[in-house]
Structure 1
Amino acid sequence: MFFYLAFIASGSLGSLIASTQFISSLIKQNPSTDLGETLKSLAIDLAAVALFSFLYSREDSAKKAQLARLSREEGLGNLRGGGAAGGGGGAGEFVAEAFRRSREFAERLVERGVVVVGFATDGESVGFEFGEGEEKLRRLWQLGPVNVPDWAMWLDEQKKLANVPPESPVYISLRMDGRVRGSGVGYPPWNAFVAQLPPVKGLWSGLLDGMDGRVL
């Protein structure tokens, strides 16, 4: 970005000099001045200024997006989950439905290291009913939010940044290294998680467990 600014400054100075020479030649009608070369030099300088201004703007936007992502992940990293299962990313009824939809994928999700931290934004207490033989489902929904006001504040901020209505239910998916890999409005795409994430045992086990390379 420093070099972009240097090139912009150099091009601007060159444009100023070329413009001055061109105007001076027109006023004095000095035939000794090659107007064609002056115009060519001016065009090159202006093109350089435009190009490096565009590159600088693009780099600055990427930098701001990176800082926003880091800030989001830092805030999320300060949140804590634990204890028994809680809610989801919306009202209690949404959380309960998300729980029901995860039932058929529970075993494969647990094999991929997925754990749900549920949070019901309306404060409704959601009770999950686990049937016989649904130990994997119980492990999947074993966590709930700790310090609910912090979770609510962080979630409200993210919805404002994304222009999502406050009442809309949302989900956020993290990689095992804590980075955000996806988010959206509505129910978590359990089937997509199963398709995208590798199992954390067997052939795919190791340092990259649960990290499919997707980072937003």
Structure 2
Amino acid sequence: MAAAAAVAALRPHLSLLSAGGGATPISSLQALAFVSPPLPHYRRRCVLRSNASSSPSPPPSPEKEKEAEAEAVPTAESCVNLGLELFSKGRVRDALEQFDNALELNPNPVEAQAALYNKACCHAFREESNKAADCLRTALRDYNLKFGTILNDPDLAPFRASPEFKELQEEALRGGEDIGSGFRRDLKLISEVQAPFRGVRRFFYVALTAAAGISTFFTIPRLILAVQGGDGAPDLLETAGNAAINIGGIVVLVALYFWENKKEEQQITQISRNETLSRLPVRLSTSRIIELVQLRDITRPVILAGSKASVTRAMQRAERYRTELLKRGVLLIPVIFGASQKAQSKPRGFGSSRSVASVSSVGDDFEKRTESIAAKSRLKAEVRFKADIVSPEQWESWIRDQQESEGVTPGEDVYIILRLDGRVRRSGRGMPNWNDILQELPRLENLLSKLER
């Protein structure tokens, strides 16, 4: 007898920009809405064949049933599902074969995005950064993959520490036909929120430049007549002065326009760097591993990067001011250069089932807000004075990029102080002067701290 059985919907391994297990609110000014749309649901039929004997045979396990169905009628959906199942068991090579098969079976755009993305995760697990970058580049360009997914996914942590990721990120910042403009468009939206009058200023620069150009267009014939002289000729000094003012105004306005564009590019780069920083993991004193984004509105992380001796001395000096620093929400994060050893990544089973998003009601929203407040309260209780980094290679890569952008020699001792909203407050060479930091940072209950959130 044939019976219809509901099976799990096909979804790519796409991590949302949520923080840890609980729902943590992220400021719209700082977080990028990189959430890929869920894949549509599919239903498949299972045919259960009755046994001729009186004793019923045990039903096949879902895993064997999935493999048998993929072998019997291979589809892009079944190949992706089987590949996820194989990867969760550590069979990375077999999972790669299934994702390749899915790409050869005329997949729809959503299935192709899932196959390419999960294939990139497999290559990242095998430390094949070039192949992972190629898969992600294709998914970004052709199948509307959100770049924030790459920033957020822990399975791509080895890839994010590679030079290929930096190259891919720079391409995404520039935008274009080779990689798409989705990432750059999202960053520009955040940039416009942080600098709301930049567009207005540029509009006036263009309008005033056009007005000065039109005025110059009519002034030049008058200047020629003034130079030639004769009856009815305009005054030479007055006409030359008007032309000089118009031409000078055009030069100044064009320079201001290009200066605004340069500032926008610098801001977009900094936003991207801040977003990368927010996804770096740390281990709290309770051994709980979280991302920096989860500490927003709670702490002011202070990153101490340098040699072991320098960082140790700075930590010891900070202990003298521990009480006052804690009142200001300071969380020390030591990063020792050269101490990172590339540990072999473990599969995290990105084929595991995830809950399907449904239309939220008012009660659901209230419940989510309540859970968010409770999760933040628990997290605040776990935060102490120091947190340890989890992925040293990612931290060192980010600090090197920050040093290059600030004109500091890579590998030099530096400190970086973050705001409560997660942005970089200031940075400097060497180790910080804790007395100066106490004078600079207001206490958490202070009005200035509330405005900083």
Sort the TM-score into its range (normalised by shorter chain). 0.7 to 0.9
Q: Residues 94-137 of structure 1, C-alpha deviation per residue, up to 9 Å, x if partnerless?
A: 11111111121111111211111111112079xxxxxxxxxxxx
Counterpart in the other structure of 1:11: 212
Question: After alignment, is 4-13 or 148-157 more displaced?
Answer: 4-13
Counterpart in the other structure of 1:181: 425
- How high is the TM-score relative to the length of structure 1? 0.76
Given the alignment, which residue of 261, 272, 296 partners 1:71?
272
Secondary structure of the 1:38 match is helix
Superposition map of 1:26-175 within 5 A: 26-27=227-228, 29-36=229-236, 37-84=238-285, 88-123=304-339, 139-141=384-386, 143-175=387-419
Verify the 8 A CA contact 1:88 1:119 in the aligned structure 2. yes
Displacement after TM superposition at 1:73 (Å): 1.5
Verify the 8 A CA contact 2:340 2:393 in the aligned structure 1. no
Verify the 8 A CA contact 2:212 2:247 in the aligned structure 1. yes
Secondary structure of the 2:320 match is helix
- Structure 1 residues 8 and 111: alpha-carbon distance in aligned structure 2, compared to 1, 3 A threshold: same
Q: Residues 39-67 of structure 1, C-alpha deviation per residue, up to 9 Å, x if partnerless?
A: 23313312322342343344334333432
Verify the 8 A CA contact 1:171 1:183 in the aligned structure 2. yes
Secondary structure of the 2:304 match is coil
Amino acid of the structure 1 residue aligned with 2:311: V
Task: Report the Cα distance in structure 2 between the residues aligned to 1:7 and 1:124, rounded to whole angstroms.
Answer: 55
Secondary structure of the 1:88 match is strand
Task: Report the Cα distance in structure 1 between the residues aligned to 2:332 and 2:450, rounded to whole angstroms.
Answer: 17
Task: Report the Cα distance in structure 1 between the residues aligned to 2:336 and 2:450, rounded to whole angstroms.
Answer: 29
Secondary structure of the 2:422 match is coil
- How high is the TM-score relative to the length of structure 2? 0.39
Question: After alignment, is 172-181 or 9-18 more displaced?
Answer: 9-18
Amino acid of the structure 2 residue aligned with 1:199: R
Question: After alignment, is 34-43 or 3-12 more displaced?
Answer: 34-43
Task: Report the Cα distance in structure 1 between the residues aligned to 2:408 and 2:448, rounded to whole angstroms.
Answer: 35
Secondary structure of the 1:17 match is helix
Secondary structure of the 1:31 match is coil
Task: Report the Cα distance in structure 2 between the residues aligned to 1:31 and 1:45, rounded to whole angstroms.
Answer: 26
Verify the 8 A CA contact 1:89 1:169 in the aligned structure 2. yes
Superposition map of 1:195-210 within 5 A: 195-201=439-445, 204=446, 208-209=449-450
Across the aligned residues of Structure 1 and Structure 2, the Cα RMSD in angstroms comes to 2.9
Alignment gaps of 5+ in structure 2: 1-201, 288-302, 342-382
- Structure 1 residues 103 and 17: alpha-carbon distance in aligned structure 2, compared to 1, 3 A threshold: same
Alignment length, in residue pairs? Answer: 194
Q: Give the percent of matched residue pairs that are identical in Structure 1 and Structure 2.
A: 27
